[in-house]
Structures are given as structure tokens and as C-alpha cells.
Amino acid sequence: MSYFSAASMMISIFSTIQVYAWIATLWKGKPVLTTSMCFALAFIAMFIIGGLNGTITALIPFDWQLNDSYWIVAHIHYVLVGANLFPVLAGFYYWLPKMTGRMMNERVGMISFWLTLIGFNATFFPMHFLGLMGMPRRIYTYGGGMGWDDWNLAMTVGAFLLGAGIVLSVINFLVSARYGRPAGPNPWNADTLEWSMPSPPPPYGSIHIPTVQSRHPLWDEHDEEYDPEDARVLDRERMTLSTTWLDAQPIGLAKMPEDSIWPLVLSLAIGALAALVLVKSMWWTLAPIIAGLAVMAMWLWPKEEKRAS
Amino acid sequence: MNVNAAVAGDGASREWVNAASIRDLPIDQARGTVAMGWFIVSEAMIFVGLFFSYYYLGHGQPRWPIGDPPALPLPTAMVAILLLSCIALWAGGRLLRQGRDVSARYALVLTILLGCGFLVLNALDYNSESTSNPPTGNSYTSIFYVIEGVHAAHLILGLLFLLYALLLPRLGPTDKPPHGSYRNAAMYWYFVTAVWFVMYAILFIGPRR
């Protein structure tokens, strides 16, 4: 039991290092409160709540009381939704202009942000109280008069708010992708390399393999694409540069994968494998395993050279 | 291949200035080897986890292993077989570097046969052990057979790697991937051999101290 508790506690050490790294990044930078940054800040806050209620869940005497109660549901959702949904939305608002070439609507984005944040907390924070009041998880209904009714009502209202917030963002994505104002290459005045490309970027990325001289490539004096003799162009095949690990000196050319049907077949085989395990026909799982190995063998088999030029 | 960083015109920006284009660089042969190294590291973590479980389940038990420790003769023979297979594989690698492709393939065949011999002994060992200590018996037999089974599965994968290398048209450096297939398959085989040595020490010798 002490092992179990210590092993669970270990998670909090690494999560805390992460959280301090994020806070330090914000501390050193100059955060601009765009919708994307709001979602990112909400993510850190939600993740901290999920981390704190997780840390005390790792204490055996506490867990003894709350295991299989709604407390655990609250914890898992603060970690998973807080740590997955919010950063994904932040990423959408940040990078979709790069993908579609059009800006999202910031005002609709902020409304969606507040709906999502308030809805999420109204849905999942009361679960802490319900867990402490003894409501078990994995039930689809419960008798009236247990004293759980009010919090459950609040949670239902919160769930609708959360859903409305997410739907609003999805609508925002779809409408902005078509009618938004053009983004240009670098709408955020960001410092990283993807923002030196037009939005949306061409499929091959940059023609000249960029060189980087500082931690803020687009903010320094150095021109990443400066290459008058076309010395850093790879136009023969699908190739990229291999470099040394620490100081990025070029040492060779690496062939990149060609278009192939085999990855699709492989993923279908893996899907079949998972489905067969689900229906517990274990001997049949040998078929997709063998098929998958055969597909990988075909996929990796050396192909005839295709000279583009 | 003089692609070095140097100070360009304005002094502030450093650039690669070179006569030759990067198009003239050689094909990188080490990528598969690096990938295999990382693959082996992550696979090793599975076995670290399994050995941790072995000690974790044994922690606080009055007797560990529960019941008699596993018999030694067959596992010792399996150590010897894997050692022989590694010597054959290593010799084959030397032959390949000397350009003797066909001899290297014979070494591969020998390694594969020895590996199949290991699997046969593994099955015999399982049959004799599991009659007295079935996998469903207790926590000890459960973790014991899980470790043995996971190792056997990895050994089969290693055999498939070796077989694939044997079937490939070229074993050494190539222009097109997979590069250095012999070396990469051999790395994995050395890994499953090393895991068996650790298993032999922990599961078979350990309880007899």
C-alpha cells in the first residue's frame, strides 16, 4: 500500500515540474490575451485543480473513502478535459489561421471561451461535493431525496453551457475558414518558423532549408531562408536533411516515405485486431497480427528508384 | 562535404557558405539504427516494468517464489543456445563488412535455426513447469509466465526481423531504405538475448541464493 501511494504521488512531481515550466514561460514572456491565450491560461488553471485533487487522491486513507465516487469523476475530467480540450481549442485558435489562411472571429471566440470555462466548471466542480456526499460513479440514475438533486441540476445546466461553448467554437471555425479576414503569413507577430510561410503554406514547406541562429528565429536579424546559391535546396526526391544531434551540422540525406497504400491497410488490420479482442475471439486475432506483419514487410520492401528529374 | 557555418557578408547573420550543395551529401545510413536504438530502449522499459512487478508482488510475501523455484537445466541450455546464436550473428556481421554477403546469409540462417531451437526448449520448459505450477496458480506463477511469455513474443519478433533481413536483396549499406538491415536486426537480437540473461539471473538463479 505504501508503494502504491508513493507510486501515485510520483506523478505529481513531474506534473508540478510541467506546471512550473509553463508558469515560467509566461513569466519570461509578454502574454497577449487573445482567445487562444485565454484557453491556454484556463488549461493551466484547470490542470492545477486536477493535479491538486489528484494528489490528495493518491493518499490511501483519503482514496479509501472516495474511490469509486464522483470525486474521481471530477478529478479525471479536470485532468483530461482541462489538459486536453482547453489546449486543443487554444491550438485551434492559434494555428487554424495558418492552415486555412483566414482569421477566427475573436469576439465569438471570447464568448465561446467564457461559455466553455463557466460550463466546464459548473459541470465538473460540483462532482467534488457529490463525491464527498457519497454519490457513487458509474450509475445512470439515482433515487430522489438523497440530497444530490441540486448539484446534479447545476451540473446538467453546466453541461449545456459547455456544449454550447464548444459548438460555438466549431461554428466559428467553419464560418471563419470560409469568410474570415485573410491572416497573412504572421498574424500574431510570432517568433517561430511556421509563421515565415504564407498561410496556408505550400505542401513542401520552405524551398531553402532554413537555418536558425537564435531562440526567436523570426525576431532576430538573421534571415533563415538566405541562400543565394541554392545550396540548401532538396528537389530531387522526397528527402530531408540529417544533421548531428547537438549542433545540427548536416551529415547526410534521409529518404522520406513515398505515397503508399500500406499504412492504410496496416491501420485497418490494427482496427480489426482491436475489434476481435473486444469480442474476445482470441484465436482470430492471429489473422490481423499476421496480416499486419506482412503489410509492414511489403511497406518496408525496397522500391525501384523513381527519378523525378 | 565542407558544409560549415561561417560568417556571411553582414557579419550579424551566420550562414552555411559552401561550394557544394547539400544535394551532394551521402545518403544517411544510420537512421534505421538510431530508430532501432530508441525502439530497444522503449522495449527495455517494458521489461523493467515487469521485473519491478515481480519484486513488487514478492515484497512482503513470506516466501518468494511461492512454491519451488523453477528448474534450472533447460533455462541454462537456453542461455547457451542464445550465446551461440549471438556468436554466429556477430561473425556474420564481420563477414558482411568484409563484403562476403553469401557467408553472412549463412550466419543469419544459423542464427535463425538456433533461435527456433530456443523456442522449442522454451515450449518444453513451459510444458514441464506449468503442469506443477499453472499460470493461474498464484501471483508468482502469474508474473513468471507473463515475463516468460512477453520475452518469447519479443524473441519471435526478433526472429522475424532476422528472417526479413535474410530475404532482403541487400544486407549492408544501400541507397534506398531499409539501410543496414543486417546490423539493425542483429541489434534487436542482441537485445532479446540480453533480456534472457537478465531473466535467467532474476527468475532462475535469484531464488536459489
Q: Which residues pair with A102 in a beta bridge?
A: A182
Q: How far is CA A4 from the centre of its chain?
A: 29
Backbone angles phi, psi at A208, to 5 degrees: -90, 125
Q: Is pLDDT of A101 > 50?
A: yes
Contact (CB, 8 A) for A293 and A269: no
Q: List the single residue in B with minimal CA-CA distance to A224.
A: B15
Backbone angles phi, psi at A41, to 5 degrees: -65, -40
ipTM of the prediction greater than 0.95, yes or no:
no
Backbone angles phi, psi at A163, to 5 degrees: -60, -45
Residue with cell 460555438: A168
The verdict on residue A33 lying in a domain is yes
Probe site for chain A from B18, B23, B184 (most A CB atoms < 10 A): B23
Are both A293 and A218 inside the same structural domain? no
Q: List the single residue in A with minimal CA-CA distance to B2.
A: A250
Q: List the single residue in A with minimal CA-CA distance to B20.
A: A231
Tell me the shortest Cα–Cα distance from B151 to chain A, in angstroms.
Answer: 17
Give the three-class secondary structure for A141.
coil
Q: Which residues of B touch A260 (CB under 8 A)?
A: none
Burial state string for A233-246 with b = 16 or more CB within 10 A and e = fewer than 16: ebeeeebebbbeee
Of A250, A293, A303, the CB nearest to B22: A250
Contacts with B, A 264-303, CB within 8 Å: 293, 297, 300-303
Structural domain span for residue A288: 262-300
Percent of chain A with pLDDT over 70: 98
Q: Which residues of B touch A305 (CB under 8 A)?
A: 175-176
Probe site for chain B from A213, A256, A260, A285 (most B CB atoms < 10 A): A213
Q: Which residues pair with A255 in a beta bridge?
A: A239
Contact (CB, 8 A) for A242 and B28: yes
Are both A88 and A15 inside the same structural domain? yes
Peptide bond into A182 cis (omega under 30): no
Q: Report pLDDT digits (tens) over A43-90.
A: 999 999 999 998 888 888 888 889 899 999 999 999 988 888 999 999
Are both A69 and A150 inside the same structural domain? yes
Are both A102 and A202 inside the same structural domain? no
Backbone angles phi, psi at A98, to 5 degrees: -70, -40
Cβ count near B26 (within 10 Å) = 12
Q: Which residues of B touch A303 (CB under 8 A)?
A: 176
Select from A154, A179, A204 the last residue of a domain: A179
Q: Residue A250 is inside which H or E element, if any?
A: strand A250-255
Rounded distance between C-alpha atoms, residue B119 and residue B149, angstroms: 11
Confidence (pLDDT) at A8: 84
A231/B20 touch (CB, cutoff 8 Å), yes or no: yes
How many structural domains compose chain A?
3
Q: Which residues of A touch B185 (CB under 8 A)?
A: none
Are both A77 and A95 inside the same structural domain? yes
N-to-C CA span, chain B? 58
What is the average per-residue pLDDT within A88-97? Answer: 94
Residue with cell 511489403: A298
Rounded distance between C-alpha atoms, residue B159 and residue B153, angstroms: 10
Tell me the shortest Cα–Cα distance from A114 to chain B, in angstroms.
Answer: 41
Confidence (pLDDT) at A24: 96
Q: Report pLDDT digits (tens) over B154-186.
A: 999 999 999 999 998 888 888 888 888 999 999
How many Å is the maximal CA-CA distance in chain B?
A: 80
A260 CB within 8 Å of a chain B CB: no
What is the average per-residue pLDDT within B188-204? Answer: 95
Q: State the cell numbers at A60.
A: 490511501
Tell me the shortest Cα–Cα distance from B73 to chain A, in angstroms.
Answer: 32
Q: Is pLDDT of A251 > 50?
A: yes
Contact (CB, 8 A) for B182 and B165: yes
A300/B18 touch (CB, cutoff 8 Å), yes or no: no
B22/A249 touch (CB, cutoff 8 Å), yes or no: no
A302/B59 touch (CB, cutoff 8 Å), yes or no: no
B15 CB within 8 Å of a chain A CB: yes
Q: CATH number for the B29-208 domain, one of 1.10.150.130, 1.20.120.80, 3.30.530.20, 1.10.240.10? A: 1.20.120.80
Contact (CB, 8 A) for A302 and B176: yes
Q: State the cell numbers at B26.
A: 551521402
Of A254, A293, A303, the CB nearest to B28: A254
The verdict on residue A32 lying in a domain is yes
**Length of chain B (residues):** 209
Rounded distance between C-alpha atoms, residue B165 and residue B172, angstroms: 10
Q: Which residues of B touch A231 (CB under 8 A)?
A: 3, 16, 18, 20-22
A3 CB within 8 Å of a chain B CB: yes
B22/A255 touch (CB, cutoff 8 Å), yes or no: no
Q: Residue A247 is inside which H or E element, if any?
A: none
Q: How confident is the model at residue B129 (pLDDT cuts 50, 70, 90)?
A: confident
Establish, for the pair of chains A and B, how many residue pairs have beta carbons separated by less than 8 Å. 83
Confidence (pLDDT) at A256: 83
Of B10, B112, B70, B109, give the one whose Cα is nearest residue B208. Answer: B70
Contact (CB, 8 A) for A40 and A84: no
The verdict on residue A42 lying in a domain is yes
Q: Cα torsion at B10, B13, B19, B21 (round to 10°)?
A: -140
B28/A242 touch (CB, cutoff 8 Å), yes or no: yes
Q: How confident is the model at residue A260 (pLDDT cuts 50, 70, 90)?
A: confident
The verdict on residue A186 lying in a domain is no
Are both A24 and A154 inside the same structural domain? yes
Tell me the shortest Cα–Cα distance from B177 to chain A, in angstroms.
Answer: 6
Q: Which residues of A touch B160 (CB under 8 A)?
A: 293
Confidence (pLDDT) at B20: 61
Q: What DSSP line would sit under chain B, residue for residue?
A: ----EEE-TTSSSEEE--SS-GGGSPBP--HHHHHHHHHHHHHHHHHHHHHHHHHHHHTT-SSSSSSSPPPSHHHHHHHHHHHHHHHHHHHHHHHHHTT-HHHHHHHHHHHHHHHHHHHHHHHHHHHHHHHHS-TTS-HHHHHHHHHHHHHHHHHHHHHHHHHHHHHSS-SS--SSSSPSHHHHHHHHHHHHHHHHHHHIIIIIIGGG-
Are both A132 and A216 inside the same structural domain? no
Are both A225 and A243 inside the same structural domain? yes
Contacts with B, A 54-93, CB within 8 Å: none
Contacts with A, B 54-113, CB within 8 Å: 56, 59
Are both A34 and A92 inside the same structural domain? yes
Pairing relationship of beta strands A250-255 and B5-7 according to DSSP bridges: unpaired
| Domain CATH number, residue A101 | 1.20.210.10
Confidence (pLDDT) at B6: 40
Q: Which residues of A touch B180 (CB under 8 A)?
A: none
Of B16, B174, B177, the CB nearest to A232: B16
Tell me the shortest Cα–Cα distance from B13 to chain A, in angstroms.
Answer: 5
- What DSSP designation does A99 have? H
A230/B21 touch (CB, cutoff 8 Å), yes or no: yes
Q: Is pLDDT of B11 > 70?
A: no
Confidence (pLDDT) at A304: 64
Are both A235 and A128 inside the same structural domain? no
Are both A121 and A93 inside the same structural domain? yes
| Sequence-separated (6 or more) residues with CB below 8 Å from residue A202 | none
